[in-house]
Amino acid sequence: MKTDATRGQLDLLLLAVLTAGPAHGYAIIAALRDRSGGTFDLPEGSVYPALHRLEREGLVASTWDRDTGRRRRVYALTETGMVAGQERAAHWHRFARGIGAVLAWGVGPDREPRPGSPAKLNWEAAR
């Protein structure tokens, strides 16, 4: 998926991944890719700036970890981040339901109005 399409949702996606527990950046990127079936295969250049922004906002905290012998930053949700993630997820679900309701009135994948929809009835009447 294009990065432009995910830009407005990236913070929510990162918060959602971190609800499973602390993770380093590469693990977060892998989780986004794996959980989305490859839809969100995002570059580091998109993910790391978003993590830093979430950290500045107090939604994520990071620490340095050397368990693997390499120094790497591990990110975790703060309590504020957990609440923000839940609120943003609820908002997103309401938004997605609204989009679904509007699309149900519109055209289907075949570019013809969906059967039984008001748009289909109008379309058939116009033929």
Question: pLDDT for 95-109, tens place per residue?
Answer: 988 888 777 766 555
* DSSP H or E stretch at residue 72: strand 72-77
Q: d(Cα 5, Cα 79) in Å, to the nearest integer?
A: 28
What's the confidence (pLDDT) of residue 114?
62
Q: Check whether 126 has a pLDDT greater than 60.
A: no
Q: What is the pLDDT of residue 125?
A: 62
* Residue 22 confidence (pLDDT): 97
What is the reported pLDDT for 32? 96
Q: How confident is the model at residue 120 (pLDDT cuts 50, 70, 90)?
A: low
| Cβ proximity of 57 and 48 under 8 Å | no
Fold for the domain defined by 3-126: Arc Repressor Mutant, subunit A (1.10.10)
**CB 60 within 8 Å of CB 51:** yes
What 3-state DSSP class applies to 115? coil
What average pLDDT does range 30-36 have in this prediction? 96
